[in-house]
Amino acid sequence: MLIIGENIHIISPRVKEAIENRDAKFIQTLALKQVKAGAGILDLNIGPQKKRGTEIMPWIVETVQAVTDVPLSLDTTNVAAMEAGLRVCKKPALLNSASADPARLDPVMDLAAKYNASVIALTMGVDGIPSTADGRTAIAMETLLPKAESLGIPPKRVFLDPLVLTVNGNQDVAQETVNAIRVFKQLSDPPPMTVVGLSNISNSCPNEIRSLINRTFMVMLMAAGLDSAIADPLDKKLMEFIRVVESRDTATPMGRLIVALYDATAAMEDLDPGLVDRNDQEQVEFFKTCQILKNQIIYAHSYLRI
């Protein structure tokens, strides 16, 4: 599983301050922590930056490249800033992101072709995000993949993103996201890559349950064929779940349950409740979260206590 480290994000007050003050040391420390924890790409999210984007993006790219050689994801809606960053990238970058909206599709895909970059392609258009896997697949097949092909961008450089919505308010869509990943991997030969913004699933949920929701959803997505996730590599429990799935480590009761969920999802079946030790709180919470994500019980902030 390729983890795209999400922590250098302007939504963080400390990151925003570091960018404004050109605090290279803070950015570099955060970059190195993510790489050490397992990030294979670092996402550099500077926001729109309409006025200073062409100055900020190359600065942050060069700041991070001074301490690590992992590839970078350039995350901004400012296309000029994105290209300014591409000019100083030492390795082919990942562009975050294009969509089926012509205002985003053409300029970002053109940059990906020009700079031999990969591109995250969001399955949304001018009318928003379809609620079904079929709707998202149609956008990928009719617009995103044909555009990439026309520019000579191979499927291995196109990261289709079904767009994860928060389980709080969009509970019925979580399973559709899993289904979309499964279908995306069948769209071409070789298949396109797939990616999600993992933490979106737990947006607006209480902090104490966000990691649990994230890591449970990650197991389900991996079983459907997910290749990569924009996620927090500093979340040790998330990274442990990924390790358990990839190594099929069933040495512990929890490990056996994680692998069982993976296998059940891969077979498009439900996790057998008989596998859950009802005296083990971690297993019970994991199982309840599975039920939430499959829309089998109604989400509430207090669902673990119900």
Ordered by start, the domain boundaries in the chain are 2-232
- The CA distance from 136 to 133, in Å, is 5
- Quote the pLDDT of residue 306: 86
3-state secondary structure of 55: helix
What is the CATH number that goes with domain 2-232? 3.20.20.20
H/E run at residue 231: strand 228-231
The sign of the CA dihedral 146, 147, 150, 152 is: negative
- Quote the pLDDT of residue 50: 86
Own/partner contacts of 25-34, CB < 8 Å, gap of 24 or more, are 27/60, 27/63, 27/64, 28/63, 28/64, 28/66, 28/67, 31/5, 31/64, 31/67, 31/68, 32/67, 32/68, 33/7, 33/234, 34/5, 34/7, 34/8, 34/233, 34/234
Would you state the structure tokens that stand for residue 154, as one six-digit string?
């191979």
Q: How far is CA 211 from the centre of its chain?
A: 14
Q: Where are the beta strands (DSSP E) in 100-198?
A: 118-122, 158-161, 193-197
Digit-by-digit pLDDT tens for the chain (306 residues) are 999 999 999 999 999 999 999 999 999 999 999 999 999 999 999 999 888 999 999 999 999 999 999 999 999 999 999 999 999 999 999 999 999 999 999 999 999 999 999 999 999 999 999 999 999 999 999 999 999 999 999 999 999 999 999 999 999 999 999 999 999 999 999 999 999 999 999 999 999 999 999 999 999 999 999 999 999 999 999 999 999 999 999 999 999 999 999 999 999 999 999 999 999 999 999 999 999 999 999 999 999 998
- The CA distance from 133 to 124, in Å, is 12
